[in-house]
Chains A and B, each alone.
Chain A
Amino acid sequence: MTGERDARLSRRAFLTTVGVGTIGLGLLTAGQTVDALAPLALFAPRRVGAGPQGLPVNRTAEAAAVRDLALAPDWSLEVVHQGVPSRFGLDDLRALELVEARLPIACVEGWSTEATWRGVRVRDLLALVGAPARSACRIASLEPNGPYAVTSMGAEYAADPGTLVAIELGGEPLDLDHGYPARLIAPARPGVLQTKWLRTIEVVS
Chain B
Amino acid sequence: MSARRSHRGAVGARGGLDSPAGVGLALLGVVVLLLARRRRRRGADPERRRRASRRSRPAPLMPLMPRTPRVRRPGPLALAAAAPGRAAVIALGAAALGYGAWLVLTDLPIDLIAWLAVWLAGAIVVHDGLIAPIAQLAGVAIDRTGRGLRMPRSARLLVAGGLAVGGAWTLVAAPEIVAKARGAANPTVLAGDYAAALAWAWIAIAVAVVVGAVVLTSRARSRAAPRS
Chain A interface (Cβ < 8 Å from any Cβ of B): 6, 9-10, 13, 16-17, 20-21, 24-25, 28-29, 41-47, 50-51, 56-60, 63, 177
Contact = CB atoms under 8 A, between A and B. Distances in A.
Contacts of B164: 17, 21
A21 B161 CA distance: 9
Interface stretch (B68-76, B95-103, B105-113, B165-173): B165-173
A17 B176 CA distance: 23
Contacts of A43: 169, 172-173, 176, 192, 194, 197-198, 201
Interface of B: 153-154, 157, 160-161, 164-165, 168-169, 172-173, 176, 185-192, 194, 197-198, 200-201
A29 B175 CA distance: 14
A45 B192 CA distance: 7
Interface majority SS (helix, strand, loop, mixed), chain B:
helix
Nearest to A17: B161
A10 B157 contact: yes
A63 B185 contact: yes
Contacts of A50: 187-188, 191
B197 to A, nearest CB: 4
A59 B198 CA distance: 27
Contacts of A45: 176, 189-192
Contacts of B160: 13, 17
A20 B212 CA distance: 15
A21 B201 contact: no
Nearest to A20: B165
12 contacts: A9-B154, A13-B161, A17-B160, A25-B169, A42-B200, A42-B201, A46-B188, A46-B189, A47-B188, A51-B187, A56-B191, A59-B185
A93 to B, nearest CB: 27
Given A25-B169, A50-B191, A63 B161 contact: no
B68 to A, nearest CB: 15
A63 B184 CA distance: 12
Contacts of B165: 17, 20-21, 24
A65 to B, nearest CB: 14
Top 9 nearest A-B pairs (CB, nearest first) are: A42-B197, A51-B188, A56-B188, A17-B161, A47-B191, A21-B165, A13-B157, A50-B191, A21-B168
Contacts of A58: 185, 189
A9 B153 contact: yes
A42 B172 CA distance: 11
B114 to A, nearest CB: 23
A138 to B, nearest CB: 24
A63 B169 contact: no
Nearest to B158: A13
A50 B197 CA distance: 18
A56 B188 CA distance: 5
A20 B187 contact: no
Contact of B186 (A10, A24, A44, A60): A60
A41 B189 CA distance: 14
Contacts of A177: 186
Nearest to A10: B157
Contacts of B190: 45
A87 B28 CA distance: 59
A21 B168 CA distance: 7
Nearest to B165: A21
Contacts of B189: 45-46, 56-58
Contacts of B157: 9-10, 13
**Best-buried of B189, B198, B200 by chain A (most CB within 10 Å):** B189
A187 B46 CA distance: 65
A46 B191 contact: yes
Contacts of B172: 25, 29, 43
